[in-house]
Structure 1
Amino acid sequence: MAEHPHAMLVRKGYEAFTQGDMDTLRGLMAADATHHVPGTGMLSGDFKGQDAIIDMYRRLGEETGGTFRVELRQILVDDRGHAVSLHHMAGDRQGKHLETDGGLVFRIVGDKITDLDECVADLDAVNDFWA
């Protein structure tokens, strides 16, 4: 069975993120896309527009000295414009190590990602890591 187009879009996004290919990531998102990051840390909040989102991704790498990694585990789709990804993330920052599971809820219109809502398994650990 062929992979659903929304799952393919999400998978392509994870591959681009892992490779640091911000041009490809930019092309997968609507110009006014928003990425919602939970928590209270320095990279929490709503990042509106491709430039703000790409800059936040750049800062993830910069703040962790390039150690931040995500490993895609699963993608779920509903054929109504939603996809959910489950992943494992890890990184090191200022003597702290983060290792937890997370996910993204994607809203997809046409062939573009318009909204990303991030969820994490251990919000306290994420908040501490980015404090």
Structure 2
Amino acid sequence: MAEHPHAQLVRQGYEAFQRGDMDTLRGMMTGDCTHHVPGSSPLSGDYKGIDNIIDGYYTRLATETDGSFRVELRNIFVDGRGHAMSVHHFTADRGGKHIDEMGGIVFRIVGDKMTDLDECVADMEQTDDFWS
């Protein structure tokens, strides 16, 4: 059975992110896309617009961790109505701290582009502490 197109889009997005291929990611999102980052750390908040998502958040994940931020996609679920949900494992080192955590993202997809990403983490307190 072929993978659903929304699952393919999410999988390709994770692969591009892990390679550091921000140009490919830009092509997968609408210009007005929003990425919601949970918590109360300096990285938390709503990143509105593709430039803010890529330059303000994704690039910052790499710079804040000296390139150690890694994410491993574990699963993708789709509803066939424009929603996909990923489950992933992520690790990073920053300022003498290490994080080894589970998380996920709920994607809203219109046509063949991501329009909204709602990020979730398994342990909000640990994640906030790591990024603070």
TM-score of the two chains, using structure 2 as the length reference: 0.99
Q: Residue type of the partner of 1:101?
A: M
Q: Confirm or deny that 1:115 pairs with 2:112.
A: no
Partners of 2:42 and 2:127 lie apart in 1 by 11
Overall identity of the aligned pairs, in %: 69
Partners of 1:35 and 1:15 lie apart in 2 by 18
1:124 is matched with 125
- Quote the offset at 1:42 in angstroms: 1.2
Q: Residue type of the partner of 1:17?
A: F
1:45-56 matched pairs, under 5 angstroms: 45-55=45-55, 56=57
1:89 is matched with 90
Partners of 1:42 and 1:114 lie apart in 2 by 23
Q: Confirm or deny that 1:59 pairs with 2:60.
A: yes
TM-score of the two chains, using structure 1 as the length reference: 0.99
Partners of 1:27 and 1:111 lie apart in 2 by 10
Q: Residue type of the partner of 1:6?
A: H
Question: Could you give the per-residue CA deviations for residues 27-64 of structure 1, whole angstroms, max 9, x where no partner exists?
Answer: 00000000000011111000000000001100000000
Q: Residue type of the partner of 1:11?
A: R
Q: Confirm or deny that 1:104 pairs with 2:105.
A: yes
Q: Residue type of the partner of 1:94?
A: G
Partners of 1:102 and 1:35 lie apart in 2 by 14
Partners of 2:3 and 2:25 lie apart in 1 by 20
1:26 is matched with 26
Partners of 2:26 and 2:41 lie apart in 1 by 24
Partners of 1:69 and 1:37 lie apart in 2 by 17
Name the count of aligned residue pairs. 131
- Quote the offset at 1:116 in angstroms: 0.1
The Cα RMSD (Å) is: 0.3
- Following TM superposition, where does structure 1 have runs of at least 4 consecutive aligned residues deviating by more than 3 angstroms? none
Partners of 1:53 and 1:122 lie apart in 2 by 22
